[in-house]
Chains A and B, each alone.
Chain A
Amino acid sequence: MTGAEGISTEALLVALFIFVLAAFVGYEVVSKVPTMLHTPLMSGANAIHGVVVVGAMLVAASAEGPLRMVLALVGVTLGTINVVGGFVVTDRMLEMFKRRPGQSGPGCKP
Chain B
Amino acid sequence: MTPLQVVTFFVYLAGSVTFILGLKFLSSPVSARRGNRLAAAGMAIVVGWVFLTEFVLRDGGLATLWILAIGVPIGSVVGVLGARRVPMTAMPQMVAIFNGAGGGAAALVAAAEFLRDAGAGNGAGGANAGELLPIPFMVATLLGAVIGSVSLTGSVIAFGKLQGIVSGRPLTYPGDKIVTGLLVAGILVLGVLLTVATNDVTPFLVFVALALVLGVAAVMPIGGADMPVVISLLNSYTGIAVAATGFVLNNYALLVAGTLVGASGAILTQLMCRAMNRSIFNVLFGAFGTAGGTAVAGPAGDTTVREISAEDAAVLMAYAKKVIIVPGYGMAVAQAQQSVRELMDLLVARGVEVEFAIHPVAGRMPGHMNVLLAEANVPYDRLKEMDEINDEFATTDVALVIGANDVTNPAARTDTSSPIYGMPILNVDHAAHVVVLKRSMAAGFAGIANPLYADPKTTMLFGDAKKTVDALVSGVKVA
Binding site for B on A (CB under 8 A): 2-7, 9, 11-12, 15, 18-19, 22-27, 29-69, 71-100, 103-110
The main secondary structure of chain B at its interface with chain A is helix
Most buried by A among B99, B109, B117, B255: B109
**Smallest CB gap from B376: residue in A:** A96
The one of A3, A27, A36, A66 in contact with B267, judged by C-beta atoms closer than 8 angstroms, is A27
The one of B61, B104, B254, B380 in contact with A55, judged by C-beta atoms closer than 8 angstroms, is B254
Instruction: Give the complex CA separation of A30 and B262 in angstroms.
Output: 11
* CB–CB A89/B124 < 8 A: no
Most buried by B among A11, A12, A50, A88: A50
Interface string of B231-244 (1 = CB under 8 A from A): 11001001101110
- Taking CB atoms, residues of chain B closer than 8 Å to A26 are 23, 259-264
* CB–CB B255/A59 < 8 A: no
* CB–CB A52/B19 < 8 A: no
The one of B58, B78, B255 in contact with A61, judged by C-beta atoms closer than 8 angstroms, is B58
* CB–CB A57/B108 < 8 A: no
Contact A107/B380 with A47-B40, A91-B36 known, Cβ cut-off 8 Å: yes
The one of B108, B261, B358 in contact with A49, judged by C-beta atoms closer than 8 angstroms, is B261
Q: What are 12 contact pairs spanning A and B, CB under 8 A?
A: A4-B117, A41-B367, A48-B261, A51-B242, A52-B245, A53-B47, A60-B67, A67-B123, A69-B64, A74-B105, A80-B71, A99-B29
Interface string of B346-385 (1 = CB under 8 A from A): 0000000000001010000111101100110101111101
- Taking CB atoms, residues of chain B closer than 8 Å to A6 are 250
- Taking CB atoms, residues of chain B closer than 8 Å to A99 are 29-30
The one of A32, A68, A97 in contact with B115, judged by C-beta atoms closer than 8 angstroms, is A68
- Taking CB atoms, residues of chain A closer than 8 Å to B238 are 46, 49, 52
* CB–CB A106/B40 < 8 A: no
Q: Given contacts A11-B250, A66-B123, A91-B40, could you give 15 more A-B pairs where the C-beta distance is less than 8 Å?
A: A3-B117, A12-B247, A19-B247, A19-B259, A23-B263, A27-B263, A33-B26, A35-B366, A38-B271, A49-B102, A73-B70, A74-B71, A80-B72, A89-B91, A109-B388
Instruction: Give the complex CA separation of A89 and B88 in angstroms.
Output: 10
* CB–CB A45/B265 < 8 A: yes
Interface: B477 (CB within 8 A): no
Interface: B463 (CB within 8 A): no
- Taking CB atoms, residues of chain B closer than 8 Å to A104 are 381
* CB–CB B101/A106 < 8 A: no
* CB–CB B383/A36 < 8 A: yes
Instruction: Give the complex CA separation of A55 and B371 in angstroms.
Output: 32
Most buried by A among B101, B134, B245, B377: B101
* CB–CB A69/B263 < 8 A: no
- Taking CB atoms, residues of chain B closer than 8 Å to A103 are 379, 381
Interface: B307 (CB within 8 A): no
B237 to chain A, nearest CB (A): 10
**Smallest CB gap from A62: residue in B:** B116
* CB–CB B28/A108 < 8 A: yes
Instruction: Give the complex CA separation of A96 and B262 in angstroms.
Output: 27
- Taking CB atoms, residues of chain B closer than 8 Å to A60 are 64, 67-68, 71
- Taking CB atoms, residues of chain A closer than 8 Å to B271 are 35, 38
Interface: B295 (CB within 8 A): no
- Taking CB atoms, residues of chain B closer than 8 Å to A98 are 29, 33
* CB–CB B71/A109 < 8 A: no
The one of A39, A54, A107 in contact with B251, judged by C-beta atoms closer than 8 angstroms, is A54
Instruction: Give the complex CA separation of A27 and B262 in angstroms.
Output: 9
Instruction: Give the complex CA separation of A74 and B69 in angstroms.
Output: 12
**Smallest CB gap from A97: residue in B:** B29
* CB–CB B249/A89 < 8 A: no
* CB–CB A18/B102 < 8 A: no
- Taking CB atoms, residues of chain A closer than 8 Å to B19 are 48, 51
- Taking CB atoms, residues of chain B closer than 8 Å to A105 are 381
- Taking CB atoms, residues of chain A closer than 8 Å to B14 are none
| Chain B contacts with A in 53-107, Cβ cutoff 8 A | 54-55, 58, 61, 64, 67-68, 70-72, 74-76, 78-80, 82-84, 86, 88, 91-92, 94-95, 98-99, 101-102, 104-106
* CB–CB B33/A95 < 8 A: yes
* CB–CB A45/B261 < 8 A: yes
* CB–CB B246/A67 < 8 A: no
Interface: B120 (CB within 8 A): no
**Smallest CB gap from A30: residue in B:** B264
Interface: B300 (CB within 8 A): no
Interface: B319 (CB within 8 A): no
Interface: B291 (CB within 8 A): no
Interface: B122 (CB within 8 A): yes
